Copies of this chain bind each other. A is one copy, B any other.
Amino acid sequence: MTDRPQDPGLTAHESLYRHLRAQIMHGQIEPGASLTLRGLAEEFGVSMTPAREAVRRLAAEGALKLSPSGRVSTPALANDRIEELAALRSLLEPELASRALPRAHSALIDRMQDITVQIDGLMRAGDAAGYIRTNLEFHRNLYLRAQAPAMLALAETVWLQLGPTMRALYARLRRPSASENHNKIIAALRAGDEASLRLAVRQDVTSGLRMLMR
């Protein structure tokens, strides 16, 4: 019982859920790793009941895989599944960006520029989880303006499913191609150019995933 943070004011299963979700989304758990309810429960100092709820909730979102016998593990994605999830990203995210465009004021764009610089630093520092997290934050910051919570939720579901695989991606990419793509997105936002915004987002989203598939 390592006694984790124990976020106050939250139910036990909620805080466990958030921790796990963040870990998975940020690639801090390797694909195919297996978890046990008792293990998670003990690690967070709670009983099995809230651990089961958190796990099932994540399984419903595709973040975890349940074997027929109920065993829990992070999914190890086959190439065609990765392709599919990449296609989903390039379907959903340009739409979100497009909807956010009319509402993207300059303070937001400045913030996105800051995040881009930050990403460069994290990548150079070799902080994989930090890189993934901040990269997603870049996108989420924009998409929040779309006023489309259901659409954003679906996009996050896709991120979640790709999470464990993301770490493998990070190990392979070494040049900061993210910066270029992000700068294109920022430029399109500043110009108010919807067509090139969609294009830039699609490119940013697929560029990384493409090199993961062979």
Q: List 5 A-B contacts (CB under 8 A).
A: A53-B56, A56-B56, A80-B147, A87-B151, A154-B154
Q: Does any Cβ of B come within 8 Å of A16's Cβ?
A: no
Q: Total interface residues on A, using CB and 8 Å?
A: 28
- Say how far A95's CB is from chain B's closest CB, in angstroms: 6
Q: Does any Cβ of B come within 8 Å of A161's Cβ?
A: yes
Q: Oligomeric state, in number of copies?
A: 2
A57 to B56, CA, bound (A): 7
Residue of B nearest to A94 (CB): B91
Nearest 5 CB-CB pairs, A to B?
A60-B60, A57-B60, A84-B150, A84-B148, A53-B56
A149 to B158, CA, bound (A): 12
Contacting residues, chain B, for A85 (C-beta < 8 A) = 150
Contact flags A147-167 to B (C-beta < 8 A → 1, else 0): 111110110011001000000
Contacting residues, chain B, for A169 (C-beta < 8 A) = none
A60 to B91, CA, bound (A): 22
A52 to B80, CA, bound (A): 34
- Are the C-beta atoms of B61 and A153 separated by less than 8 Å? no
Contacting residues, chain B, for A157 (C-beta < 8 A) = 154
A179 to B59, CA, bound (A): 37
Contacting residues, chain B, for A158 (C-beta < 8 A) = 150, 154
